[in-house]
Structure 1
């Protein structure tokens, strides 16, 4: 034991000299508890025997380290005083023999008795067994009892700070001497009295066997119990989240709040719940914390990490619960830079290649997929002097008919979120379940975090948003805009952070139809103040068009065939491209490391988006005897005529002629017309392009892992700066929105301008741009105007059947021309566009 004390003294002086000096000069109250951080890796390097004893007997060695802090402080104090005395002597000698030097003011050095060693940087293991010190929370059990472990998760419940008698003082009735006894947390604060007096009486052991407690001589300490839950992003399909009770003592108490992501280092011990005679004995596993550290960002673990080829940052040894793609590695960043260098002339084409990996199980919905990706990227938060913070997170509301893919988009967004992700429903959640609830904890109350608090720093998806009770919707107003929740329940007054992006899904009210001409409050049933907090509102109507039905049917059949030939199980989430990389030859050749996905090849990232297959028209056509003559004539004329392209529609609008143009109709391209003539006899699925085109079943290299890493990378870049051209477009559209007689009051407040700024910033981030350019502002206006139809941009009202165009950069130029002409900003148009010179003149 003396050897271990000497080792503890040496390692504290060698590894914690600066921290000990800081504690000596802190001038804190003598009774205050102070933390002394000690690196577990440094401890293992300098004193391996002590580190081995720490792993075998953690409670004993941690107590020994706490006791060694007093001797270390005394030694460090003597060294500091000697050093300062030598400095003063040297300074006096420099002034000359008869000179006078001003004495330097030195702070007082105080030795503190309540210094606790807190371990940091806990390694994965100190012995050959894998994951010995960082087991998954779901696997905590008897095998980890009385072992030093580290777990990470989210604080879902925080109890009140209580006081317990940590050290009892007893007096021997024989020798009249006192001795301290440390209480045991495992026994609920009880102490075990010794059989004989541990003191000496006249150099002989005291034979006393009776003791009495000394009143007023006990030492009390504060403690707090919190509930730690495993990260929801690390859970498997249908797996309930594991949780464990954590006890925080001394200065650790009240250091975290519900909703914080923390990394806890502690010892797992059993605690008896009931020890009364005649009652069944019950115990629970409790983690007595030695140190608690807030992680650097929500959703990723702190401490040592294992970095794979994709740059996934996860707790070392916890490969089962690792979430790949959380951080982009240098290799993947080089791929992203090379990708955008190859698309300098066609940036929108590059953006659409990224969008091809967004929820590939749903056909169409190009604006919805773009909006979901912008929500994950987010805008730029800012703080104005003298006012509150202005959020940078985007809120998206999808209003659509049943079966339009709203839930699939939200599930994909949860998987692609780099931080936390919480998916819930409005009908199954109350106002307290979304924000924070006060629960009974013995004789006091505790706070339990709701969905928005648990998603702090990440994403919260709420399906059936209208299911939230009307009188409880007001509680989320503050959480959405100010991103805080003020609580005043059961005597608990505090505020919690809700810096989360929200994606909501809602069906139209019974008896109403989705139309831009009807007020959103009437169609959704939501109040105006709540609607004004959503940055984007997208209307997803179910189009009844034969050509679009062929696209959807071909998409479903092709993915069904790919799933049948896959080796994955039906429950594997990788079927929708969410957890596996594209199985191309170049990707497989890259190889993986330690279970992490392989890096995609540069050519795979630059490959065109997979085309949608078409179902043969004869499969969807009904017998001629059933169809009426009018339907037959209409179908014949529709198949023989060609729909005008978006460029032709815009040109017609600019010339004042829009006859015969229906913006809501589906636009079959020439490629689809040629593909309809080629039919497979096996399942009736036709290829949309020639044989040289990519296969319809080929997955995009932009999988959810790559997209997650890409989002993390673009969010870590410097925020984009707004250009004057973009400002003029946003302000002009906001002014037109305010002047419109048919404007929606809920969607035309000052929040609409802030939303436009956030959307344009998010698009600039997505495009890896350092500036918010004119194109970013135009995209923001087009997305925001899809539910308003103030500018009547051709193609903006057909969201559900919006597909990837053959020339996205040219189509954006046409949309840019339409937006600027209607906002009377023709001077911002490039002179190279047709029909622009005479307008500018």
Structure 2
């Protein structure tokens, strides 16, 4: 009687679920029926918020008992297909598909709360058995395997057939049934129906919580996620994902002198890639209007507006205008394009700060990491080539790849402090990652290529006393090929200038006395850290600047002059330098909120390269980057200076041409 009542309630629930699918997902069901391949696994995405509005009781049942009800939901998808199949009988290849999987999307639903959407480090036993959502970065991606699914047994006495499912706790082994579940039959004699064996695609990945949300000293936690059927191979190492599934546990593999424990595992129901969104940078329409209004106010003095934005970068460091401009241009970057041969030319810029101790290099690194929507900070002393790129690890007898810092920073920023502390071999491994933006791996039989579309921001001390007469390679022990990959290399020399020391010390002491700064107070409030992040994110996605003829002419002339006068830094003055000039000019156009690279942008890019001290000095007006400061009237001063530089470079170019 009890079994009959249970069957009745199951049938009623199946009808409820099938009715919901027909009501809200009729078109998806039709496309599944019309699909030609009956062996494929078909996902059917259901919004949990929609399910709650339509049937709150069913939504609560799925949340509190997902293992039972999600499999029943899959069965109801087959039932729903049968209901609407009558309309498609005459169509060739139309059939009811038995491999449909309901995927629950919790985005925008009440399940996006702390209780059901905790950080990975806060997952506890209380979360076991409910519909749980976790967010993290894929650090390890295992091989796709085939595992045996449910087995169908038949009782030798009453001939009743029933399914037995594999258990994750015992590493997917299927237990032999102990008695017949049929009513009034307690037989213990069974046989397997071999021709009905079912197999599934199976993959294990490991996700790790973001280090940006953790406090100092906290170790980022990770958890294994099991993907099945249509979910396998949908993500790779370095992807940001949100996984919804059921938390369970499995026995850790047997190892000598290691205690066998239950490891937490999330069996995924739905995986959402966040690479397109990258991070929670929400830019409301009113904020975009503020950006437009800001540039409207500074229409007649655009460089003053630019300087107001730059003042918001690392405000605790006084002056250093050139460095702040370089940081902004590096984070914004240029436009990636594909050349005639089909090769991708990177849009991301790289920045290297070389300076004496106490010049604020680490401060800029940390602030840049806060500005980027995805960042990884590491030091050269604590990094190996495997830690920076990718390492091969053995898990349960199987080799798999685990992502390093550059792969985890894909689409963001990788900050490497104490760059000179890295071993020569470890520095050489990032050559490909910086220029081609990929990492080619051939380890333990794993041959693959991983994506590293990341900005590299390095900081290093010079080797002993910096000698301006020597090349940068000699002063830093960095190789020429590595230096040539950095778009801007700024050298911050502490030359003990008494006037500069007096200005800096008075600024620091006045800040210590009163926390509030009185200079450009309103502008500082406008360009807070949050607004700067939003601004950089917006201009990177909204603008794709194109070079004007004047900009092309001045960049080309400057590059040719550098090629002719290059003596000490021949490794730097390659085609990479021309690409760097274009990237920096495009980044400055984006910073100035426009889609056109003007002469002003091109000359700003030239001045950044000149400040690098890695090229032959053509413009004499560029001084030490450490002592560069914000001017009161940048538009008047700079425009006159830019006109002079423009004419000076073109004059030099014409003189060289005449001489030839």
TM-score by length of 2: 0.92
Find the counterpart in structure 1 of residue 271 from structure 2.
292
Report what 1:46 is aligned to: 54
Residues 711 and 279 of structure 1: is their aligned pair in 2 closer, same or farther, counting only changes over 3 Å? closer
Number of the residue aligned with 1:758 = 583
Instruction: Flag the 1:826–1:443 CA change in 2: closer, same or farther, 3 A.
Output: closer
Q: Which stretches in structure 1 are left out of the alignment for 5+ residues?
A: 86-105, 301-312, 314-325, 564-582, 584-609, 612-692, 829-841
Cα deviation, residue 712, structure 1: 1.4
The correspondence for 1:513, drawn from 438, 454, 466, is 466
How much does 1:537 deviate?
A: 0.9
Which residue number corresponds to residue 21 of structure 1? Answer: 30
Larger % of helix: which?
2
- Corresponding residue for residue 602 of structure 1: none
Label 1:115 to 1:513 Cα distance change in 2 as closer, same or farther (>3 A). Answer: same
CA distance in structure 2 between the aligned counterparts of 1:251 and 1:440, rounded to whole angstroms? 26
- Name the counterpart of 1:365: 320
SS of structure 1 residue aligned to 2:153:
strand
Which residue is equivalent to 1:341?
296
Deviation of residue 405 (structure 1)? 0.7
Superposition pairs of residues 412-451 of structure 1, within 5 angstroms: 412-417=367-372, 419-451=373-405
Q: Residue 383 of structure 1 corresponds to which residue in structure 2?
A: 338
CA distance in 1, matches of 2:621, 2:467: 16
* Distance in 1 separating the partners of 2:118 and 2:395: 29
TM-score of the two chains, using structure 1 as the length reference = 0.73
Aligned counterpart, 1:801: 627
Secondary structure of 2:650's match? coil
Q: Does 1:230 align with 2:209?
A: yes
Task: Specify the alignment match of 1:595 in structure 2.
Answer: none
Deviations 1:438-495 (A, max 9, x none): 0011111111001110000000111122222212333211111111112111111211
| SS of residue paired to 1:71 | helix
Residue in structure 2 matched with residue 253 of structure 1 by the alignment: 232
Equivalent residue of 2:227, what SS? strand
Name which of 509, 527, 534 aligns with 1:557.
509
**2:5 match:** none
Identify the range of structure 1 (455-464 vs 223-232) with the bigger mean alpha-carbon deviation. Answer: 223-232
Partner Cα separation in structure 2 for residue 532 and residue 117 of structure 1? 52
Larger radius of gyration: 1
Distance 1:409 1:13 in 2: 56
Q: Which moved more, 1:340-349 or 1:107-116?
A: 107-116
Any unmatched runs of 5+ in structure 2? 1-9, 655-660
Q: Is the 8 A contact 1:43 1:51 kept in 2?
A: yes
Query: Residues 624-663 of structure 1 correspond to what in structure 2 (within 5 A)?
Result: none
SS in 1 for 2:133: strand
Which structure 2 residues correspond to residues 55-70 of structure 1 after superposition, within 5 A?
A: 55-70=63-78
Instruction: Confirm or deny: 8 A CA contact 1:298 1:457 kept in the other structure.
Output: no
Match of 1:353 in 2: 308
2:308, 2:524 within 8 Å by CA — same for their partners in 1?
Answer: no
**Cα gap change, 1:112 to 1:400, in 2 (>3 Å):** same
Change (3 A) 1:816 1:57: same
Residue equivalent to 1:10: 19
Matches of 1:263 and 1:107, distance apart in 2: 39
Further displaced range: 186-195 or 256-265: 186-195
Structure 1: distance between partners of 2:302 and 2:653: 23
Partner Cα distance (1:280, 1:2) in 2: 45
User: Which residue does 2:539 correspond to in 1?
Assistant: 714
Within 1, Cα distance between the matches of 2:615 and 2:269? 59
| Count of residue pairs the alignment pairs up | 643
Q: CA, structure 1 residues 767+338, in 2 after alignment: closer, same or farther (shift >3 Å)?
A: same
**Contact 1:274/1:283 (8 A) holds in 2:** no
Quick check: 1:735 aligned with 2:582? no
Instruction: Name the SS of the counterpart of 1:270 in structure 2.
Output: strand
| Alpha-carbon distance in 1 for matches of 2:151, 2:514 | 69
Residues 245-294 of structure 1: CA distance to partner in whole angstroms, max 9, x if unpaired? Answer: 21111221222110011111111122233799x99662122111101111
Q: Distance in 1 between matches of 2:440 and 2:180?
A: 54
Q: Which residue of 2 aligns with 1:75?
A: 83
